[in-house]
Chain A
Amino acid sequence: MLKLPIYLDNNATTPLDPRVLEAMMPYLTEVFGNAASRNHPFGWAAEEAVDYSRDQIAALINCDPKEIIFTSGATESDNLGIKGVFEMYSQKGNHIITATTEHKAVLDTCKHIEKLGGRVTYLPVNAEGLISLEELEAAMTPQTILVTIMYGNNETGTIQPIREIAAIAHKHGALFMTDGTQAVGKIPVDVLADGIDLMAFTAHKMYGPKGVGALYVRRKNPRVKVTAQMDGGGHERGMRSGTLNVPGIVGLGKACELARLEMAADTARLSAMRDRLEKELLTLEESYVNGSREHRLPHVANISFKYVEGEGLMMGVKDLAVSSGSACTSASLEPSYVLKALGLSDDLAHSSLRFGLSRFTTDEQIDYAINHVKEAVTKLREMSPLWEMFKEGIDLSKIEWAEH
């Protein structure tokens, strides 16, 4: 029996892999020591577990284990990376470059930097969600200290040309940071080959626990330093004070190990399921894929269904846990800024659904999802005056709407 609702919101968070939980359990119970306690075996056991996790993470992203700074998650890592670089390199310059489709953890941090007197350039994206390398190059100045562009987008799955971006940043003497939240553990991310100087990522997007993440900070060529944003005991090489979340860190490490071992198989299976879902839903007239289909995370599909309204659609697909491009819980009805940045009109942005598949998604669930969405869209269109007008060949853009 299929259990409803079906969880297809894995870009928001993933379930904990039972193998990760199993690895964590001892550290939630008998091995409870503080990794900073140097004087007794309780501390040593905790420290050993943390170091083992660093090794597991380093093996996944091809870095040195010492380059991992544990945090509470990707939001903290984004904050630490951007604010930490801004403070540390203030002698060199005050200019940061990012993109309009970044996560709020980056955008709002950049807004904060502007309040502190920094200058930030927000690069636009094209219809596929990709930044222009020419525009990036043109935006670089001698004062540019950091370029921060996300690896894969959380709403569309669009993957930016990371290596090329890193090369441009380095050519102009700036550091390159990426928010790898959605990419790490899903696609091969190699900080050395990609030229990444700092990278934020988190456990709970790759079947690990919530409340733990990391910031990769390069130690050589160049040696990168960030000013701590939290003062205290000087943990994590002085960059992030606070007693280490040992069970969380063990979970992050285990999640990274599983990702490294199973990524190829997961990718093959998930992209096949995603492609099937997408192909079937695109048989509905006037449905569109948002973002790049060529440069995309394997488990994500973002599709707009024209002439149906987003919140009504969400109500119609109540057996699915998915996200919509519409933030309708507020009265303001703000559509997704990411989809707007791709050039989507408000109505298409509102009527989008984001499907995020996981290691635990089954073919049976995808079959159900396909039928469920098709039924909901068809029913809502039969009820939609806009659909009727479209079918009659009326140009909706020519109508003078009574603006509400």
Chain B
Amino acid sequence: MAYSDKVIDHYSNPRNVGSLDKSKKNVGTGLVGAPECGDVMRLQIEVDEITNTITDAKFKTFGCGSAIASSSLATEWLKGKTVDEALAIDNMEIVEELALPPVKIHCSVLAEDAIKSAINDYRVKNGMPALEEAKSHH
């Protein structure tokens, strides 16, 4: 299968690989996917509690090149966004940016799920109500 240049770039030079201290109150962690399905993404955000802005984002992904690129791109987009802006990220924006083929759309869905899951974790940790059931694509 041919990968787009952007997927290859993110795969070869992934941005923001790593971990944040998940015990910190202002760090939200999302772990989505399953090993049997061939994709597991862990995405973490660190939030400035005063401005409600995401100051740092990290990921680790077990998956194909498109999954790695989707999560790498997501961390790039998250930094500097407010939590509400981050919630508005739609998987189709990732599909467009990375020119993902139809069989790889699930990678972008997983990245969106990972963002929502990380935000949810942050909210629950900080006494806010959990998000409505994250938009389900499956």
Chain A positions near chain B (C-beta within 8 angstroms): 307-312, 315, 326, 328-331, 333, 345-347, 350, 380, 382-388, 396, 401-404
Contact = CB atoms under 8 A, between A and B. Distances in A.
Given A312-B65, A331-B106, A383 B17 contact: yes
A401 B34 contact: yes
A307 B3 CA distance: 23
Which residue, of A329, A331, A345, has the highest number of chain B Cβ atoms within 10 A? A331
Which residue, of B32, B34, B138, has the highest number of chain A Cβ atoms within 10 A? B34
Which residue, of B38, B42, B113, has the highest number of chain A Cβ atoms within 10 A? B38
Interface in B40-71: 40-42, 60-65, 67-68
A402 B63 contact: no
29 contacts: A308-B62, A309-B38, A309-B64, A309-B67, A311-B38, A311-B64, A312-B62, A326-B38, A328-B38, A331-B102, A333-B37, A346-B35, A346-B36, A346-B38, A347-B36, A350-B38, A384-B40, A385-B31, A385-B62, A386-B35, A386-B40, A387-B62, A388-B60, A401-B33, A401-B36, A402-B32, A402-B33, A403-B34, A404-B33
Given A315-B11, A388-B19, A402-B34, A307 B103 contact: no
Interface in B94-109: 102-103, 106
Given A329-B1, A330-B103, A383 B60 contact: yes
A400 to B, nearest CB: 9
A345 B34 CA distance: 13
Main secondary structure of the interface of B (DSSP, over half): mixed
B14 interface: yes
Which residue, of B37, B61, B62, B103, has the highest number of chain A Cβ atoms within 10 A? B62
Nearest to A329: B1
Given A312-B67, A346-B36, A386-B62, 18 more contacts: A309-B62, A309-B64, A310-B38, A326-B38, A331-B102, A346-B35, A347-B38, A350-B38, A383-B14, A383-B62, A385-B41, A385-B61, A386-B40, A387-B62, A388-B19, A388-B60, A401-B33, A401-B35
Contact of B38 (A333, A387, A388): A333
A309 B42 CA distance: 15
Contact of A384 (B61, B103, B110, B117): B61
Nearest to A318: B8
Contacts of B63: 309, 311-312
A401 B35 CA distance: 8
A310 B19 CA distance: 23
B39 interface: yes
Contacts of A386: 35, 40, 62
A345 B36 contact: yes
Nearest to B37: A404
A380 B63 CA distance: 9
A386 B138 CA distance: 23
Nearest to A402: B32
B36 A315 contact: no
B136 to A, nearest CB: 11
Contacts of A309: 38-39, 62-64, 67
Contacts of A388: 19, 60
Nearest to B109: A404
A385 B1 CA distance: 25
A330 B64 CA distance: 13
A134 to B, nearest CB: 32
A17 B3 CA distance: 33
A386 B35 CA distance: 8
Nearest to B110: A404
A383 B67 CA distance: 12
